A = this chain, B = another copy of it.
Amino acid sequence: MEFDKNLIGGSTVLLILSLLEKTDRYGYEIIRELELRSDKAFQLKEGTIYPVLHKLENDGYVKSYKAEGERGRARKYYRITENGKKKLVKEKEKWNKFSISVNKVIGGELYAFN
């Protein structure tokens, strides 16, 4: 496949970086946000998201910092880096090519944002 598993097997990197593009967020929040925005289609597990965030930080695409929340335990916020923004552009391009290709094969409906 031309698409690596980060996209096909997992669009998680694309989704996480997309959220971080607009504002800093913490892991737990990302899960809730994805659930909300996707109408419950995305229900990422904590066991999925935290290792991905660690890898993203390790790869230099995001940078974390600690901050207190109103409730519960202290939060670890993630901010997208310049490299992360470049990565996001590439991931979006891959997703576009991938989804267009799938639609070509399966018959090609039209999908609008709403």
A→B interface (CB under 8 Å): 1-3, 5, 8-11, 14-15, 18-19, 34, 37-44, 92, 95-114
Roughly how many angstroms separate A34 CA and B105 CA in the complex, as a whole number?
7
Contact, CB under 8 Å: B110 / A113: yes
- With a cutoff of 8 Å between Cβ atoms, the chain B residues found around residue A110 in the complex are 110-113
Looking at the assembled complex, report how far the CB atom of A3 sits from the nearest CB atom of chain B, in whole angstroms: 7
Roughly how many angstroms separate A108 CA and B67 CA in the complex, as a whole number?
31
Roughly how many angstroms separate A100 CA and B38 CA in the complex, as a whole number?
8
Q: How many copies does the complex hold?
A: 2
Question: Which 6 residue pairs are nearest across A and B when measured between Cβ atoms?
Answer: A108-B113, A38-B101, A9-B9, A41-B101, A18-B106, A99-B99
Instruction: Name the residue on B nearest A113 (C-beta).
Output: B108
- With a cutoff of 8 Å between Cβ atoms, the chain B residues found around residue A97 in the complex are 41
- A99: which of B2, B3, B102 is its contact (CB, 8 Å)? B102
- With a cutoff of 8 Å between Cβ atoms, the chain B residues found around residue A42 in the complex are 1-2, 101, 105
Roughly how many angstroms separate A92 CA and B92 CA in the complex, as a whole number?
22
- A3: which of B41, B92, B104 is its contact (CB, 8 Å)? B41
